[in-house]
Amino acid sequence: MYKNKEGFGANPEEKEPNTGPEGKKIERGQDVVITNHWYRHAQKKSGDVFSKEGEQISTSSISEEGERKSQEVGAKVIAPESKAGVVKEYVSSSDRTRETADSLLKGYQEKKVDATKGETRERKQLTVDFPEEFMKLYDQKFGENKGKIMEKRGIPLENYSTLSSNLQESIAEEAEEPVIREWLDNPESDLAKLYLPRDAAADFAVLFHRRHERMAKRLDSGSKVDLVHVTHKTTTEPFLTSGVLINADGEKITKLDQLGGSLEILGGWESEIETDQNGQGEIVVRFREKEYKVDNEVLEKLASEGIDRSKSKRDNKVELKDN
């Protein structure tokens, strides 16, 4: 099969002529398997969610333990289930997502030595982009919970940064879970009013939509590809609880409790499309050993809203620049 410089039969990001060497026509979209792996980054050296100023997410790199566990996941979780001969990674603007992705791929390639690796690319939909007031309130609530947990454990708050990465992680995860649940599960909460979960879901839906049927149509028939995405807590959860997923009982997922809570450190889920000889296929989502169907009507609507939001943001930036 003809492959371009990235190892794909066709660039999944751009349209290219449907021909190979010597102008030979290449069939596309048939018997294609695209497996998307969506991961939260590995353990950080610091357990803080935001910077000390509360103006941006923490810039902490991953810990040695985080690097080791990422390699294990790549070798023991992703690689054994892989059907692909090509793997590519996508990350947020945060260095720790790239560090996690590189470690995942290191473990993956130890088991799949023949897999072709494409270049790492950054995607804005994987980056945390909170409104300023939302970020401040989220951090405030997280900080209050963290203080209560540390007081209960008999640890002075000022000693937080001196604790081990494992202990910081334990405290931070316990402190943040009630905050993300309040945001996503309570539409009347101040957090939800400052940043609609629907808007966050729509932004992510743009990328999710591109990663399945749309991409499959651009790949050479018979292609099998693994796409590894590394992001943050709060990025995929709004999408997963937007009503786009349908469980085995026919119920739509609209609450975090239905999924067992938000993503843990290095927690992940999969979405996959496998097309038939007619180029048709359905998306299947696997989350914590359960399979879900995707409501395509909801997905299309969310993605459309996300595209409109992206255009609006660009227009606002141009207007501000002109002024």
Name the average pLDDT for the chain. Answer: 87
- Using an 8 Å Cβ cutoff, are 102 and 132 in contact? no
- Residue-wise pLDDT tens digits, 177-221: 999 999 999 999 999 999 999 999 999 999 999 999 899 999 999
Give yes or no for residue 12 having a pLDDT over 70. Answer: no
- Residue-wise pLDDT tens digits, 148-170: 999 999 999 999 989 998 999 99
Residue 4's pLDDT is what?
39
Those residues whose C-beta lies under 8 Å from the C-beta of residue 84, and which sit 6 or more positions away, are 33, 35, 112, 115, 224, 225, 226
Give yes or no for residue 8 having a pLDDT over 50. Answer: no
Buried b (16+ CB within 10 A) or exposed e, 212-226: bbebbbbbbbebbbb
Domains defined along the chain, listed by start: 31-130+197-322 (3.40.50.1240)
- Using an 8 Å Cβ cutoff, are 109 and 117 in contact? yes
Tell me the two tokens of residue 319.
């207007």
Segments in 1-94 forming alpha helices (H): 64-73, 79-81
Question: 23 or 75: whose pLDDT is higher?
Answer: 75
- Residue-wise pLDDT tens digits, 216-271: 999 999 999 999 999 999 999 999 999 999 999 999 999 999 999 999 999 999 99
Residue 49's pLDDT is what?
57
Confidence of residue 10 (pLDDT cuts 50, 70, 90): very low
- Grouping H, G, I as helix, E, B as strand and the rest as coil, residue 321 is helix
Residue 23's pLDDT is what?
55
Residue 315's pLDDT is what?
64
Give yes or no for residue 276 having a pLDDT over 80. Answer: yes
| Spacing of C-alpha 74 from chain mean position | 16
Residue 312's pLDDT is what?
84
Confidence of residue 2 (pLDDT cuts 50, 70, 90): very low
Give the burial class of 286: count Cβ atoms within 10 A of its Cβ; 0-12 exposed, 13-18 middle, 19 or more buried. middle
Residue 240's pLDDT is what?
98
Question: 236 or 25: whose pLDDT is higher?
Answer: 236
Confidence of residue 316 (pLDDT cuts 50, 70, 90): low
Of all residues in the chain, the percent with pLDDT exceeding 70 is 85
Lowest mean pLDDT among 7-21, 242-256, 287-301: 7-21
- Residue-wise pLDDT tens digits, 33-47: 999 999 999 998 765
Bridge partners of 76? none
261: left (phi over 0), alpha (psi -120 to 50) or beta: left
Residue 92's pLDDT is what?
95
